[in-house]
């Protein structure tokens, strides 16, 4: 997977459409990912963003972190074989 791409999303109940963008986490935008906060109910399921980015750096040959954007950063994901 190379570069950035956009995906239209239908939010379901309200039938409102919006566009999300997946952007590689780079030197230019990693602070956005560092500043993400987990909701308390997410903490047992999802690693802290700083830990995830550190793992992505260590295993950079095997995975690529992405920021999920809809205007401002709203999330993150990591794609790869870890």
10 Å Cβ neighbour count for 79?
14
pTM: 0.64
- Give the pLDDT of residue 1: 45
The per-residue pLDDT for 58 is 92
Q: Mean pLDDT, consecutive 10-residue segments, the chain of 82 residues? A: 52 61 87 85 86 89 86 70 57
Residues contacting 17, CB < 8 A, separation 6+: 8, 9, 10, 11
């Amino acid at each position: 997977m190379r570069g950035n791409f956009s995906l239209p999303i239908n939010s379901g109940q309200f039938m409102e459409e919006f566009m999300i963008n997946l952007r590689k986490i780079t030197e230019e935008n990693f602070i956005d990912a560092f500043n993400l906060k987990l909701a308390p109910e997410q903490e047992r399921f999802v690693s802290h963003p700083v830990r995830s980015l550190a793992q992505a750096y260590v295993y950079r040959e095997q995975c690529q972190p992405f920021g999920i954007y809809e205007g401002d950063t709203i999330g993150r994901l990591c794609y790869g074989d870890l």
